[in-house]
């Protein structure tokens, strides 16, 4: 186990009927807020009115910035920054999924600097201060509600980049599973895939062979994400299933799994971000198309971790007679079949992305590979992986 500092400054208020806490939790940070939300779901469900009422009751003046789209874009972030400055807001409130929370994070940092907010994403500027952020989560997926990351797409350059900073952690996040009852089957599945991918990224890229604590946590989170997703697809209003999926997705990328692993990477995300940037693919759908191919490529070079996942999560009689490669192939098949069962695409073809585009996707992904210092990835290797995802 490697040295680590584990410090998550986000207060999570979890459970039924917790939305009314957003007002007091936000008033603690300021009396003028920018309320960032998506295109339709939170207004349709009446959640936006409940949040606005809670904020007003707590004495917080509300200025709205709605219309955040999935795979949030830089131009809309800039509009939010202008509004935040114009209304001299002291705190940002995000009501939505990962896209809304990430855009709110970008506004919280971008509204306090003179330079363009995109410079934070290309590594040309560091974040030194942010406005406080509180959130109400409406979709179990990205984990942004309890982490220091944010992902924005620059539509002009067709780049979808992520960056992180300790100052981006939300002060408080409200996680009420009932708010996710209205999440449609596709985004329920994509969210579970995203959570599984967050765990797999670290499980597969860790180089420390002696991390049993982290490994058991990660294996448990993968098992939970798969099981809870199946429950929610069977019954969208299964509170226990929605609660398990929500807390699993949050824990999958809040730093808990990575603590003690040493240096880990996000190679599958590095490639997926190009699919979302170039084709506006939902993040989780892009990941399910990448995971089988990347795991196949990875297990050809180092089968042990994928084979280990099969032993731990997908055991079967006489498995000790199988080779590492056979066990790895079996785990990949089980994941691919699960993607099929939950209707999350398991190949580029299922995303209607032609194999002829592979070189273009690889070139786009290389830009993020450089920013994320994934030095072992060349355009040729990314093309090799994408060819396995066809
Ligand atoms: O805009 P509305 O109408 O709200 O519709 C949204 C959106 O179309 C809908 N939705 C959200 N909550 C709902 C709901 N529909 C019904 N009922 C509800 N309760 O769902 C759609 C997708 O929402 P979105 O926020 O885009 O999904 P998700 O939470 O998966 O976020 C995806 C974004 O997170 C980023 C991804 O790159 C992507 O941009 N990520 C952020 C990370 C982070 N900050 O650490 C890490 C992740 O790997 C990921 O990259
Ligand atoms: Zn993700």
Compute how many other C-beta atoms are within 10 angstroms of the C-beta atom of residue 352. 9
Q: Is the CB of 242 under 6 A from ligand 1?
A: no
Q: Which tens digit of pLDDT belongs to each residue from 318-327?
A: 999 999 999 9
Across 325-345, average pLDDT? 98
Give the Cα separation of 87 and 107 in Å (integer): 13
**CATH numbers and ranges of domains, the chain:** 11-179 (3.40.50.1970), 185-388 (1.20.1090.10)
- Average pLDDT of every residue of the chain: 97
For residue 150, the ligand 1 atom closest to its alpha carbon is 44
283 lines ligand 1 (CB under 6 A): yes
Mutation to probe ligand 1, out of 10, 40, 42, 96 (largest number of atoms < 8 A from CB): 96
Going by C-alpha positions, the residue among 5, 36, 6 that lies closest to residue 146 is 6
Given this model, what pLDDT does residue 262 score?
96
Per-residue confidence (pLDDT) for residue 100, from 0 to 100:
98
Task: Dig out the tokens for 42 from the structure.
Answer: 């939170």
How remote is the CA of residue 310 from the centroid of ligand 1, in Å? 30
Give the model's pLDDT for residue 267: 97
pLDDT in tens, 169-215: 999 999 999 999 999 999 999 999 999 999 999 999 999 999 999 99
Which tokens hold the place of 207? 């180089």
Distances (CA, A) of 42 to 137, 149, 198: 10, 23, 26
For the Cβ of 149 lying below 6 angstroms from any atom of ligand 1, the answer is yes
How many CA atoms, within 13 angstroms, populate the side-chain half-sphere of residue 1? 12
Of 282, 283, 344, the one to substitute when testing ligand 1's pocket (max ligand atoms within 8 A of C-beta) is 283
pLDDT score of 388 = 98
pTM of the entire predicted model? 0.98
**CA 193 / ligand 2 centre spacing (Å):** 8
Half-sphere exposure of 262 (CA within 13 A, CB side): 10
Instruction: Check: CB of residue 69 under 8 Å from CB of residue 99.
Output: yes
Residue 308 has what pLDDT? Answer: 96
């Amino acid at each position: 186990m490697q040295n680590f500092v584990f410090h998550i400054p986000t207060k999570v208020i979890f459970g039924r009927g917790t939305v009314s806490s957003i007002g007091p939790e936000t008033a603690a940070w300021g009396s003028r807020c920018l309320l960032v939300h998506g295109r339709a779901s939170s207004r349709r469900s009446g959640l936006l009115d409940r949040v606005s009422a809670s904020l007003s009751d707590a004495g917080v003046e509300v200025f709205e910035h709605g219309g955040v789209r999935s795979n949030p874009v830089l131009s809309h972030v800039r509009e939010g920054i202008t509004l935040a400055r114009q209304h001299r807001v002291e705190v940002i409130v995000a009501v939505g999924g990962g896209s809304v929370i990430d855009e709110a994070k970008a506004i919280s940092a971008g509204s306090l600097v003179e330079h363009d907010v995109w410079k934070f994403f290309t590594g040309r500027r560091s974040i030194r201060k942010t406005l406080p952020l509180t959130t109400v989560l409406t979709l179990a997926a990205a984990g942004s509600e309890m982490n220091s990351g944010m992902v924005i797409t620059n539509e002009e350059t067709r780049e979808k980049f992520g960056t992180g900073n300790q100052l981006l952690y939300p002060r408080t996040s409200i996680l009420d599973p009932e708010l996710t009852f209205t999440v449609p089957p596709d985004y329920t599945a994509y969210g579970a895939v995203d959570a599984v991918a967050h765990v797999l990224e670290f499980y597969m890229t860790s180089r420390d062979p002696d991390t049993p604590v982290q490994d058991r946590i990660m294996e448990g989170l993968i098992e939970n994400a798969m099981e809870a997703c199946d429950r929610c697809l069977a019954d969208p209003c299964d509170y226990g299933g929605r609660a398990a999926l929500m807390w699993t997705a949050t824990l999958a990328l809040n730093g808990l799994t990575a603590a003690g692993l040493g240096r880990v990477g996000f190679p599958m995300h590095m490639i997926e971000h190009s699919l979302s940037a170039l084709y506006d693919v939902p993040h989780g759908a892009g990941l399910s198309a990448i995971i089988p191919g990347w795991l196949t490529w990875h297990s050809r070079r180092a089968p042990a971790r994928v084979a280990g996942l099969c032993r731990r999560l997908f055991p079967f009689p006489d498995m000790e007679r199988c080779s590492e490669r056979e066990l790895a192939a079996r785990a990949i098949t089980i994941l691919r079949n699960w993607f099929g069962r939950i209707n999350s695409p398991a190949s580029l073809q299922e995303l209607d992305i032609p194999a002829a585009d592979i070189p273009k996707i690889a070139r786009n992904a290389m830009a993020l590979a450089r920013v994320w210092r994934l030095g072992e990835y060349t355009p040729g290797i990314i093309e090799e992986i994408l060819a396995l995802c066809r």
